[in-house]
Amino acid sequence: MHLKNLRQRGFSTVELIVTVVALVGLAGVLIPSMNTYLNESQRGEAHEQMDQIARAFTKYKADTLDWPTPYDKLPIKTGNHSFSTYFGFYRNTTKNAGWDGPYLNDGVVVSGHKRVSDFSKGAYDGLVDPWGRQYRVFTYAHGYSGTSGGLMLVSYGLDGKLNTAAEDIFAGDARGDDLVQLITYSLN
């Protein structure tokens, strides 16, 4: 009698299998939705950071009358550099009288000096994109279509690969999962 009561209170093997199959099916529907939501959230965070960085470039230019450059070396040359090579956002490395920074709050301290980011312990730390990679600054010394040059901030997105051609970056037209933020179309 006692054994019969236990069977009546428990789940049968068929009921357990049906429950597991239903949960697996539900997970199959929810996991892609969650991944999409997470990626969109990360893209939103990247856009906010890129907007903050673009404002810091503009404020630096307004104060010093020069655009920040990689390794604080003038003149601006066409190319692309890691945003981590722009030191002037945290300290007046060029001794410019108009410098009124720091222009960014986020970053990392390395050897007593604040920097945009640093690679240590197998990962980047500091002001990096939501996927843990450094932002890139594309500089166009002479521009396209009659502009006087330009600065664009780029994140390579989730896949970590540049999917956008230089002309498209300058136009602000990102491809694939890249993100592009205009800083300026005038280097004067």
- What's this model's pTM, rounded to 2 decimal places? 0.79
| Rg of the chain, C-alpha, whole Å | 25
112 found inside a domain? yes
The DSSP H or E segment spanning 161 is none
pLDDT for the residue 125? 87
pLDDT for the residue 7? 54
CA-based nearest residue to 137, from 87, 177, 64: 87
Whichever domain contains 109, its CATH number is 3.30.700
State the total domains in the chain: 1
68 found inside a domain? yes
Domain assignment of residue 151, given as a range: 45-184
Say how far apart CA 171 and CA 21 lie, in whole Å.
49
**What are the 10-residue block averages of pLDDT along the chain, 188 residues in total?**
57 81 76 69 92 96 93 85 92 91 90 87 89 93 78 95 93 93 89
Q: Show the tokens assigned to 3.
A: 């054994």
